[in-house]
Amino acid sequence: MQQIFGPDGLIAKVHPEYEHRPGQIDMAAAVLRAFEQKQHLIVEAGTGTGKTLAYLVPAIAAACGNGARVVISTGTKNLQEQLMDKDIPFLQETLPAKFRAAVMKGRNNYACLHRIKRAESMPVLEGLDQIDQFDEVFRWVAKTETGDRAELSNLPENLPFWRHIDARSDTCLGQQCPDFDPCFITRMRQRAIDADVIVVNHHLFFADLALRNGAYGAVLPDYAAVILDEAHQIEDVASEYFGSQVSNYQLDDLLRDAGYLKIEDRETERELTRVSARIQRFADQFWISFREGRGLEGRFTLTPRTAQVDNLHSDQDEQDDAQAEMSANRRQDAGAPYNALDKALNRLETTLAILKDPSTDAENILRRVRQLRFDLNFIVKAEDKQFVYWLERRGRGVFLRASPIDVSGLLQDKLFEKVPTVILTSATLSSAGNFRFIRERLGVDKGEEMIAESIFDFHEQAVLYLPPKMPDPRSPEWGRAAADEVIKIVNATAGRAFVLSTSNAGMNEMFERVASQIDYPCFVQGSASKGALLKKFRETPNSVLFATSSFWQGVDVRGEQLSCVIIDKLPFAVPSDPIIAARQRYIEEQGGSSFYEYSVPQAIISLKQGLGRLIRSTTDRGVLAVLDPRLRTKMYGQTFLQSLPPCRITSNPDDLVRFFTDEVSSFRFQVSGSSK
């Protein structure tokens, strides 16, 4: 690895500005060892390590040397683009070994030729705009090589009819499809089969892993190793795909597709129309039973056995150490509407099952009805104690879900025991200097671990500001005091700040209180798309951006423009969220402490993500301000401080001004972090 990453190595020769990073060489050597010894590895590689090259080079060596295909899975689009547009082309030019790489996105990014042909003759469009847009899609499909909708950059991102023509797995006819050979999924898969390295995102990876032994939907070719980057996200993604889900959209799509079936026998055709109308009627009642009394969007727990719903506000502020009390304001019994709907679906199943010489489309619908009945039954009965049953309302959608409470056993069975080498990496995986939390949550009981050294000098480059006196974050005085601190801090840093809140309500309140009191341009999340807001922030000198958790990850603003990150409260996961509550309850039932074993390490990882926005290069300098007094007043506050990189700590806002005018030696700081 020295010959490639060392001061006189291959990369330095091609790239004169390439910085020698000992942490990168150590990480590359550990990844290579994991490939050679066929074992798993966990690596925390903070910003400034150069982690993507550190795993790509040994992955390519292993893929070319042993013909062992490697999958790299990412959590964000930014990282996927960095790999495909920058790092991999660079290594293809630089390394002597020739290798092929392919990118695979989730199936619903691609157009389905079969559904597009059918949509041409069947109406899926509403309004003239959609007719023009569909024409454009239709012309594009005739000439595109990939069928990837990202190529349709001049059409809106949320094309209303896209879900009727995309290549999602449940509507796919598989090898029986008349368009199987030219199908974009078939072609994508073929490109992946020919590749040594495949880049995917976590959603595709875990969707594929969940389906791997099934007949439909799995798309990834076999692989000998996988690198899961941004691995701090995978517990949540895995629990999404190892569970079950039924939505009102899914039922609507099923009925729409059933309506497209060409049935020769008149009586069967009439029966199909009758039963579809019945399903529609009972489905409406069924979904109403979940909507009633709930005007808000959000996630709500479904109570086991009775299929009742606890109505929980989705946007509560995080609460303190104690698990939040679950409020059950209204209850709706889904039993009767469910029984009526299931009976109607059963009739559809029977009608389709006795068709003579059914078409592949009819077989597909039969398969979907069976699966839907199975999933509905599983969720509504809610009998398996290993799962949490919950409901999500989003826009016009109602999603019923069952998610495994603990994915560690599933990941062990399906991933860590099946794939010889799994590398888990991220800028934030450890808490208090160890990987106990991530190992337990994901079921990684074997393999090496390491924390790669960052090239950044946090002691010189960063300051942690903790206000000297702050009220309890749950007290009524907290909002005013926090806003006063934000005003003080952004005046000291001349704007150039992210103000990150743990809830939407907190963000809006902070924006209202602060924006009119400071002389710097202010932006708030929700006023434009994330990309547009980031562009404005980068281009507007001394601006201040108010945002929530979606800006804590995968956001890259280099240089002076982002010189300060202010975090309002310690980012504990919302304890009223159905999945979080179920995980916490599960830990308590096992005799553990959900607060110390789950809430604290999870919040530490989130806080480190926030800090990761601040220092993006060796020349960046910045202030991390945490307004939550618990960092100082609670015992666990020490664990947070020990988990941060070793930066200096101050409680004097004047120090912040001096920090930016380089008078750093004229004031005394404490030092956080476990080592330096």
Interacting residue ranges for ligand SF4, rule: CB under 6 A = 112-114, 167, 172-173, 177, 179-180, 183, 185
**Minimum gap (Å) between residue 156 Cβ and ligand SF4:** 23
**Minimum gap (Å) between residue 102 Cβ and ligand SF4:** 18
Nearer to ligand SF4, 185 or 455 (CB): 185
Nearer to ligand SF4, 32 or 112 (CB): 112
User: CA–CA separation, 192 vs 72, rounded Å?
Assistant: 12
Tell me which amino acid residue 496 is.
R
Q: Are 646 and 624 in contact (CB under 8 A)?
A: no
**Minimum gap (Å) between residue 506 Cβ and ligand SF4:** 43
Q: Is 21 left (phi over 0), alpha (psi -120 to 50) or beta?
A: beta
**Minimum gap (Å) between residue 134 Cβ and ligand SF4:** 17
Nearer to ligand SF4, 180 or 260 (CB): 180
Nearer to ligand SF4, 119 or 382 (CB): 119
User: CA–CA separation, 356 vs 435, rounded Å?
Assistant: 58
**Minimum gap (Å) between residue 364 Cβ and ligand SF4:** 8
Q: In Å, how far from its chain's centre is CA 73?
A: 12
Show the beta-strand stretches assigned E in 405-466: 421-426, 448-452, 462-465
Nearer to ligand SF4, 142 or 322 (CB): 142
Q: Are 106 and 162 in contact (CB under 8 A)?
A: no
In the 3-class helix/strand/coil scheme, how is 185-247 assigned residue by residue? HHHHHHHHHCCCEEEEEHHHHHHHHHHCCCCCCCCCCCCCEEEECCHHHHHHHHHHHCCEEEE
CA distances from 128 to 120, 122, 131, 134 (A): 15, 16, 5, 10
Q: In Å, how far from its chain's centre is CA 446?
A: 25
Tokens standing for residue 202: 């976590």
Tokens standing for residue 443: 């079921």
**Minimum gap (Å) between residue 262 Cβ and ligand SF4:** 16
**Minimum gap (Å) between residue 223 Cβ and ligand SF4:** 22
Tell me which amino acid residue 569 is.
K
Nearer to ligand SF4, 250 or 553 (CB): 250
Nearer to ligand SF4, 172 or 581 (CB): 172
Residues in the chain, overall count: 676
Nearer to ligand SF4, 121 or 665 (CB): 121
- C-alpha torsion sign, points 57, 58, 60, 65: positive
Nearer to ligand SF4, 177 or 510 (CB): 177
Q: Helices marked H in 21-155 — which ranges? A: 22-36, 51-66, 77-82, 88-94, 113-121, 127-143
In the 3-class helix/strand/coil scheme, how is 593-621 assigned residue by residue? CHHHHHHHHHHHHHHHHHHHCCCCCCCCC
Q: Helices marked H in 462-555 — which ranges? A: 478-492, 504-515, 530-539
**Minimum gap (Å) between residue 216 Cβ and ligand SF4:** 9
**Minimum gap (Å) between residue 142 Cβ and ligand SF4:** 14
**Minimum gap (Å) between residue 256 Cβ and ligand SF4:** 15
- C-alpha torsion sign, points 291, 295, 299, 302: negative
Q: Are 446 and 251 in contact (CB under 8 A)?
A: no
In 10 A of CB 460, how many CB atoms?
12
User: CA–CA separation, 347 vs 338, rounded Å?
Assistant: 14
Nearer to ligand SF4, 34 or 185 (CB): 185
**Minimum gap (Å) between residue 143 Cβ and ligand SF4:** 17
Nearer to ligand SF4, 177 or 566 (CB): 177
In 10 A of CB 556, how many CB atoms?
14
Nearer to ligand SF4, 189 or 203 (CB): 189
User: CA–CA separation, 502 vs 514, rounded Å?
Assistant: 17
**Minimum gap (Å) between residue 115 Cβ and ligand SF4:** 6
Nearer to ligand SF4, 46 or 147 (CB): 147
User: CA–CA separation, 25 vs 421, rounded Å?
Assistant: 19
**Minimum gap (Å) between residue 163 Cβ and ligand SF4:** 13
Q: In Å, how far from its chain's centre is CA 354?
A: 42
Nearer to ligand SF4, 175 or 273 (CB): 175
End-to-end CA distance of the chain: 25
**Minimum gap (Å) between residue 169 Cβ and ligand SF4:** 8
